[in-house]
Amino acid sequence: MSSVLVRNHVQVTGNGDRTMVFSHGFGCDQSMWHDVARQFESDFRVVLFDHVGAGRSDLAAYDRGKYSTLDGYAADIVEIGHALDLQNAIFVGHSVSAMIGALASIAAPGMFSDLVMVGPSPRYIDDEGYTGGFSRPQVEELLDFLAENHLGWSAAMAPAIMGNPDNPELGARLTNSFCATDPAIAREFARTTFLSDNRDDLSRIAARTLVLQCREDIIAPPTVGEYVHAHIPGSQFMLLDATGHCPNLSAPAEVTAAIRAFV
């Protein structure tokens, strides 16, 4: 069992009757949730983890076949949930993790009673009568870009960090593996993410759900957030002032407040 916790570099902190699991999306690792997750440690058990292929997860555990759909990632979450004995826990998922968490909650009823979706999208590519925000050629262009930028990407993913004089408290958190992602795996994760279609799963979500939507987000535009809200029975919707795709980083206070009000 503990091998699952090692595989996904699971970190458990905090104290409380209920557990909150924070899940990162494409492009980063669990460190992107630090600022927000920390705020809940005094009254919740807080769980952070890395998807396989990101951060300090076990790269050897990456299996192309398994992770070619979001269900593979959802299965890992269910395994983590079993390893930690989770019941009626809260799942906070950023970006593609919102759908991964939804799939996990459907696969393991009772494990997650509440879902917070930050910048979710059930399908990125436009379809007949549906605006995902991306065209297929654009997604192909993205995948080509990721292929071509292996060398540059990995340099960005493992930078040599100098101290930041403007923000000394960040220094302690900085390590060479910050937001590290294996470039080949990142490309596959992008493929899985941007070619996914989980619109039909929305109506099967039984958990109590909050959708947090940024005012301007090119990856999960407001129309998509509204679509998600409309198709999840009984869900709540909040439009954040924040812009960009990562409000947990650019506006942590606003995101924390929104989650607190919900739980």
Partner 1 sequence: MPVEDLADLYENAPCGYISLSPGGRIVKLNRRLADWLGWDAEDIVGKPIHDILSFGGRIAFETHLAPLLRMQGLVNELALDLLQSDGLKLPVIANAAEKRDSEGRHLLTRITLFKAVDRRSYERGLIDARDRAQAAIEAEHETSMLREQFIAVLGHDLRNPLAALAAGVRMLSKREQLSERGQLVIKEMGASITRATALVTNLLDLARGRLGGGLALKRDSSQPLAPVLEQVVSEMRAIAPDRQIVTDLAIAEPVDCDPGRIAQLASNLVANALTHGAPGIPVEVEARIAEGDFLLTVSNGGVPIPPEARAQLFQPFFRGDMRPSQQGLGLGLFIVSEIAKAHRGTIDVTSDEELTRFTFTMPLRDS
The residues annotated with a catalytic role in the active site are 95, 217, 245
* Binding of partner 1 by 239 (CB under 8 A): no
Are 139 and 193 in contact by the 8 Å Cβ rule? The answer is no
* Binding of partner 1 by 236 (CB under 8 A): no
DSSP H/E element including 156: helix 150-157
From CA 170, how far away is CA 168, in angstroms rounded? 5
* Binding of partner 1 by 146 (CB under 8 A): yes
Q: Which is nearer to partner 1, 57 or 209 (CB)?
A: 57
Q: Which is nearer to partner 1, 167 or 203 (CB)?
A: 167
Rounded to 5°, angle at Cα 231 from 125 and 100: 60
Per DSSP bridges, beta strands 112-118 and 45-48 are unpaired
Alpha helix ranges (H) inside 29-135: 34-37, 70-83, 96-107
Q: Which is nearer to partner 1, 109 or 152 (CB)?
A: 152
From CA 13, how far away is CA 1, in angstroms rounded? 19
Instruction: Match 């076949």 to its residue by tokens.
Output: 65
Instruction: Match 């990101």 to its residue by tokens.
Output: 54
Shortest approach of partner 1 to residue 208 CB, angstroms? Answer: 28
Restricting to residues 28-67, name those near partner 1 by CB under 8 A.
28, 31-32
* Binding of partner 1 by 253 (CB under 8 A): no
Instruction: Match 């059930």 to its residue by tokens.
Output: 122
Instruction: Tell me which stretch binds partner 1 (CB under 8 A): 77-85, 101-109, 156-164, 202-210.
Output: 156-164
Instruction: Tell me which stretch binds partner 1 (CB under 8 A): 48-56, 64-72, 139-147, 221-229.
Output: 139-147
* Binding of partner 1 by 246 (CB under 8 A): yes
From CA 111, how far away is CA 88, in angstroms rounded? 5
* Binding of partner 1 by 164 (CB under 8 A): yes
From CA 60, how far away is CA 57, in angstroms rounded? 9
Shortest approach of partner 1 to residue 179 CB, angstroms? Answer: 5
The residues binding partner 1 (CB under 8 A) are 25-28, 31-32, 95, 138, 141-142, 144-153, 155-157, 159-162, 164, 166-167, 170, 173-174, 178-179, 216-219, 243-246, 249-250
